[in-house]
Structure formats: C-alpha cells, structure tokens
C-alpha cells in the first residue's frame, strides 16, 4: 500500500518491531488501562499487543484515510456497497431496534416493515410449536427440530444454539445436517420419530446442492415412515429468499420464512435464518441477542475511534498481517458452550476477506484475509499451544472468557479462568534464559534433575514471549452478550475489508469448485474411463471407478 498513512506506519514499524511487550509494561504501569475498551459488560484488553500509543494513532489515521467511517455510514444507510452483486449490506437492519426506518439504495420503502413482519411470523410459529398448537400429522407435539443447511445457513444456528444451551426450552431437541456425505443425514435422523420431527430447510438461494440433496433425503426418510405426502406440510418449513424454488421443492410458501438479498449468508443469523435458534431458545432470548448486536452496532457507529472496539480489533489485525507478516489469527473461547465459535468466525472472516482483487477489480497490494482458526480453552493448551509459545510462527490470538459460569462446579471455573489469564501473560512475558536457568537449578536442588543436564536443557526452557493477544472478558454468556460479541466480529471484518479495499460481501471464489464438481459428478455416472481432465484427476476418477466395481 502506498498511501501516506501506510508509509508512516511502515516507517513506524521499523522503529517498534523489535520492542518487547515486557518492556512496554515495565515503562508504563498504566498500560492495561490505556489499551482497554469496554461496552457495557464487555471488556477488551488489547494491552498485550505489540503497539505503542503512536502505533494506535497511526492505525487510526490509516482507517480515516481508507474511508472506514464513510463506508460504515454507507453500509448502515443501505448503500449498495456490495458492488459486485449490486446489493446493499443490511444485516444490521435485521437487528435494528432504534425504530428508525432503513431504505435500500434505489428502492422505495422502509425495509423494517418486512423485518418486523418476519420476526412476528417467527414468533407466532415458535409459540405454536412450543404450545403444541402446531402439531405433527398424527397430532404429536414437536420434540425434535432438524435444521438442514450449510455454511451461513448452518454454522450460525449451530454455534448459537450450542452457545445458548442453558437458555433452551425443555422438551425440544435440535439437530443439524449440513454435509452432503450421507452419513450426516443418516446419523442425524436414525433415532428420530417422524411424527414429532420438524425439518427446517435453510437456504438463502435454495439451490445449494448439499442442502437440496439432504432435504430430499430427509423428505424420503419422512415419507417412508408416513406414506402420506400431505403430511409434509406439517413437518417441513423453509427459510429462503427464493419463494419459487421453495414452492418447487414442495414446501408451502405460507411456511416459508423470508429474508432478502441484502443479507449475506454469513451475516444472516439475525433474521429468518435464526429460526432454529428461536425455536430452540424461544423468541424472547432470540430478540435479546438482536438487542445485544444492535448495541454493538450503535457503538461501532458512535464511539470515538480510539474507543471503538471493532475498529481497534480490525486495525490490530492489519498491523500483524500487513506489517509483521503474521497471516493467521486464532480465537480461543474459554467457554465450552462457545466451542463452535471459531468455525463460525472462519466463514465470517475468511469467506469475507479471502480475496486477492479489490472491489474496483485491481490486484490487491499485500496480504488480505487472515487464516482464522481456534478452539476451546483449556483443550487447546494440550494440543497446539506448544507452537503458540515456542514455535517459529507467531499467532495473534483472541482469548474470550466470562466471569460467571453457567455450570458452577467446585473450583472448575477458577481453574478455567486461571488458565485464561495465565496464557496471555505467558505469551506476552515469556521466560528469559536467566529465569529458566533458575527454574532448572531449583529442579536440581529438589533432586528432580541431574546438575550436568542444566545447560543441555536450558535452550528448550526459554520462552521468547512477545506473542500478542487480546483478552475479551464478559460477565455471562447470555443471549445479549452473544449478540454483542458476534456483531463485534462482523464489524471487525468490515474494517479490514475496507482497509484492504476488497468487497467482504461477495463470494465468487466458491463457484469454481462447485462448477467442476458438477462436471466430475457427471463423469461418475457410468463405468466408462475418464480422460477429459488432467492426468491426476483422470487417474483418481478411474481408480475410484475400479474400486467401485470391486465394492459393488
């Protein structure tokens, strides 16, 4: 990047790249307070980052220069910022609790009317299922919800229903089918009772191969047990923007919960795609999540740049990705209910920012989308934290935890939080050679180590430290808090997309694989040898056909 702010940051980087956070904390006893932000119960301590006050100032200058604030206001006001699909980006409207109207650029009418109508329809439907007013074809109450969808039509509902399990309504179990591997749908339905199972087919386009295959197989499973196709209407509802395709599939449009093309799949849990969530936890908790997200939206719009949480988190990612050349980012929720959060954020972040062409169609300069990964603490400490502490790759990470446990049990929560706090401290501080030597000498003193091994082991016991992290801490993982957290990550993605000049709201990159897969699928429909691909693909397909003949 060759703009003024970028050049100033590059020059600044040369002067601070080798600073150690240990020293930065030594020099400023107030560092934590200076590099922390909060919003209600959300505290974000970003002091364990390799930044100085000047770094932050220069990063904020970069945001200004990249037009982040202008683009943000365009997004909220319905401008068609998703330029390659000529669409507005208004997932924020789905959770707009302000009472203010929202219009899509070039379209008359307040979208909030439709948003309100769908939320009310969701509420009525959920209450019907919960009260038993909506029953199966043999008049059974619904006991099991099976949500069929993939990507943004699955990852969000799966993650949120797990995260909010403590808020689930009794007597209703939820299941998810996403993979076209037959195992997914077979294993999911095998113990279910068709009479009390409700299938929610979630697909924005209603053309996604995996989802249609799974929905057709689910319907076949249902009809094998029921026999009467008129019963389908009581056991299948749809979530989509494509009423025609829903009708063609055989679901009554009256049982379709609509959303709109200005809601991206990976940003869609806040409306009809959230139906499985609302069925599982109830509409009140679902709307509480919307309120949390709206609070973060207001914060993102109104907070001063230096206190703006999504802005700062986005800029810190730029700092590591584009200046330190650290291309991955990890998310470690120290809460078992949030174990699916990293997978959800992978799509949100990587399908949004995994682009190498700017919105204007020019090749990007430098790194864009970071490789996002992660997993629940404390499990990760026994799997990949070795690399985090002593590997050659440095991985900036978000650590997330909550003060209140949903399952208080002895000292488990303190043990969990002790690790949450200690890991970011260890990553930042490290363990110097002299400290490591003292540790080894203490082992010798205690008779746990032969003296002659001290020097041999010493290099293995040194921790360089200076590994950055953000500590994200909230009071309790409740629906409101979850809404705040997820909206925070959505806007972080927005900030980075803006600075890289890409369009975070399209996903043309998923098309090629789909196109080739349908070609290969056709090649697999007979026994004839394949020769129309590269030699590897030809050989693999022919090898499979040979094995298939042996298996059959």
Per CB under 6 A, residues contacting ligand F6P are 150-153, 203-205, 208, 211, 265-266, 351, 507, 510
Q: Tokens 């029921």 appear where?
A: 226
Number of other CB atoms surrounding residue 159 within 10 Å:
23
Cβ 307 to ligand F6P shortest distance, Å: 32
Query: Which residue, judged by CB position, is nearest to ligand F6P in the bound state?
Result: 265
Shortest spacing between CB 203 and ligand F6P, in angstroms:
3
| Distance (Å, whole) CA 122 – CA 259 | 12
Exposed/middle/buried for 43, CB within 10 Å: 0-12, 13-18, 19+?
Answer: middle
Output the smallest distance, CB 205 to ligand F6P, in A.
Answer: 3
What's the CA gap between 277 and 145, in Å, rounded? 10
CA distances from 104 to 71, 211, 297 (A): 15, 29, 18
* Pairing label, strands 469-474, 42-45: antiparallel
Q: What are phi and psi of 296, to 5 degrees?
A: -70, -35
Looking at the Cβ atoms of 150 and 359, the one nearer to ligand F6P is: 150
Closest CB 248 distance from ligand F6P, rounded Å? 15
Give catalytic status of residue 165 as yes or no.
no
Q: What is the length of the chain?
A: 552
What would the two tokens of residue 198 be? 């409700």
Write the DSSP string, 138-155: TSPBP-EEEEE--GGGTH
Q: How many CB atoms lie within 10 A of CB 117?
A: 11
Distances, alpha carbon 439 to alpha carbons 249, 389, 447, 455, in Å: 68, 17, 13, 12
Residues 6+ apart with CB under 8 A from 346: 372, 373
Torsions phi, psi for 201 (to 5 deg):
-90, 110
| Least CB distance to ligand F6P at residue 150 (A) | 5
Shortest distance, position 27 Cβ to ligand F6P, whole Å: 46
Q: With respect to ligand F6P, which residue has the nearer C-beta, 47 or 255?
A: 255
CB of 371 to ligand F6P, least distance (A): 17
The CB-of-325 to ligand F6P minimum distance in angstroms stands at: 28
Q: Which residues are CB-neighbours of 391 under 8 A, at least 6 positions away? A: none
Catalytic residue among 415, 514, 543, 546: 514
Q: Which is nearer to ligand F6P, 152 or 317 (CB)?
A: 152
CA-wise closest residue to 301 among 79, 293, 345: 293
DSSP per-residue letters across 202-271:
E-SSS--HHHHHHHHHHHHHHHHHH--GGGHHHHEEEEES-HHHHHHHT--GGGEEE--TTS-GGG-TTT
* Residue that has been written with the tokens 């925070």 in this structure: 488
Nearer to ligand F6P, 237 or 397 (CB): 237
CB closer to ligand F6P, 43 vs 213: 213
27 is catalytic: no
Q: On the CB side of 88, how many CA atoms lie within 13 Å of its CA?
A: 21
What is the nearest approach in angstroms of ligand F6P to the Cβ of residue 293?
18
Q: Which is nearer to ligand F6P, 10 or 205 (CB)?
A: 205
Cβ-based neighbours of 442, under 8 Å, separated by 6 or more: none
Among candidates 483, 506, 215, 225, which has minimal Cα distance to 358? 506
**Which entry of 382, 452, 522, 550 is annotated as an active-site residue?**
382
Nearest approach in angstroms of CB 70 to ligand F6P is: 26
- Nearer to ligand F6P by Cβ, of 471 and 507: the residue is 507
Whether 12 sits among the annotated catalytic residues: the reply is: no
**CA atoms of 332 and 380, how far apart (whole Å):** 8
d(CA 69, CA 56): 16
Instruction: Give the separation between CA 313 and CA 295, rounded to whole angstroms.
Output: 17
Catalytic residue among 351, 413, 490, 491: 351
Beta strands in 344-483 (DSSP E): 371-374, 397-402, 469-474
Question: Would you name the residues annotated as active-site residues?
Answer: 351, 382, 514
């Amino acid at each position: 990047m060759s703009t003024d702010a970028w050049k100033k940051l590059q020059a600044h980087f040369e002067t601070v790249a080798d600073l150690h956070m240990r020293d930065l904390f030594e020099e400023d006893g107030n560092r934590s307070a200076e590099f922390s932000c909060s919003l209600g119960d959300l505290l974000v301590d970003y002091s364990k980052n390799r930044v100085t006050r000047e770094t932050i100032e220069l990063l904020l200058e970069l945001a200004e220069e990249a037009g982040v604030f202008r683009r943000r206001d365009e997004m909220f006001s319905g401008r068609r910022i998703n330029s390659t699909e000529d669409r507005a980006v208004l997932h924020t409207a789905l959770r707009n609790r302000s009472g203010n109207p929202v219009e899509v650029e070039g379209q008359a009418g307040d979208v909030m009317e439709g948003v309100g109508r769908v939320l009310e329809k969701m509420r009525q439907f959920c209450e019907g299922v919960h009260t038993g007013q909506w029953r199966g074809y043999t008049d059974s109450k619904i006991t099991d919800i099976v949500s069929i969808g993939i990507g943004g039509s699955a990852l969000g509902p799966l993650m949120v229903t797990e995260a909010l399990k403590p808020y689930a309504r009794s007597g209703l179990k939820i299941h998810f089918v996403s993979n076209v591997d037959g195992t997914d749908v077979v294993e999911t339905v095998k113990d279910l009772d068709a009479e009390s199972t409700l299938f929610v087919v979630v697909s924005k386009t209603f053309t996604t191969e995996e989802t249609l295959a799974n929905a057709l197989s689910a319907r076949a499973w249902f009809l094998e047990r029921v026999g009467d196709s008129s019963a389908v209407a009581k056991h299948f509802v749809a979530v989509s923007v494509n009423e025609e395709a829903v009708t063609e599939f055989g679901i009554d449009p009256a049982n379709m919960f609509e959303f709109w093309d200005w809601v991206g799949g990976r940003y869609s849990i806040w409306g009809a795609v959230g139906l499985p969530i609302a069925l599982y936890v109830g509409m009140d908790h679902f709307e509480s999540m919307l309120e949390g997200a709206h609070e973060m939206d207001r914060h993102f719009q109104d907070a001063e740049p230096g206190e703006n949480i999504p802005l700062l988190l986005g800029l810190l990612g730029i700092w590591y990705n584009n200046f330190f050349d650290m291309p991955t980012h990890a998310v470690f929720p120290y809460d078992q209910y949030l174990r699916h959060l990293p997978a959800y954020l992978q799509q949100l972040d990587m399908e949004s920012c995994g682009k190498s062409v700017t919105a204007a169609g020019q090749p990007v300069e430098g790194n864009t989308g970071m490789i996002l990964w992660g997993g629940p603490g404390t499990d990760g400490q026994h799997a990949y934290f070795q690399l985090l502490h002593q590997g050659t790759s440095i991985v900036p990470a978000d650590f997330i935890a909550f003060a209140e446990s949903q399952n208080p049990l002895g000292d488990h929560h303190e043990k969990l939080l002790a690790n949450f706090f200690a890991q970011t401290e260890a990553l930042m501080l490290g363990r110097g050679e002299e400290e490591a030597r003292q540790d080894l000498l203490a082992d010798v003193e205690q008779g746990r180590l032969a003296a002659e091994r001290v020097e041999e082991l010493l290099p293995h016991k040194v921790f360089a430290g200076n590994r950055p992290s953000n500590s994200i801490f909230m009071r309790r993982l409740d629906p409101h808090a979850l809404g705040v957290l997820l909206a925070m990550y959505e806007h972080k993605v927005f900030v980075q997309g803006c600075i890289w000049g890409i369009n975070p709201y399209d996903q043309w990159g998923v098309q090629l694989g789909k196109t080739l897969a349908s070609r290969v699928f056709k090649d697999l429909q007979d026994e004839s040898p394949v020769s129309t691909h590269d030699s590897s693909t030809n050989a693999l397909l022919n090898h499979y056909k040979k094995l298939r003949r042996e298996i059959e």
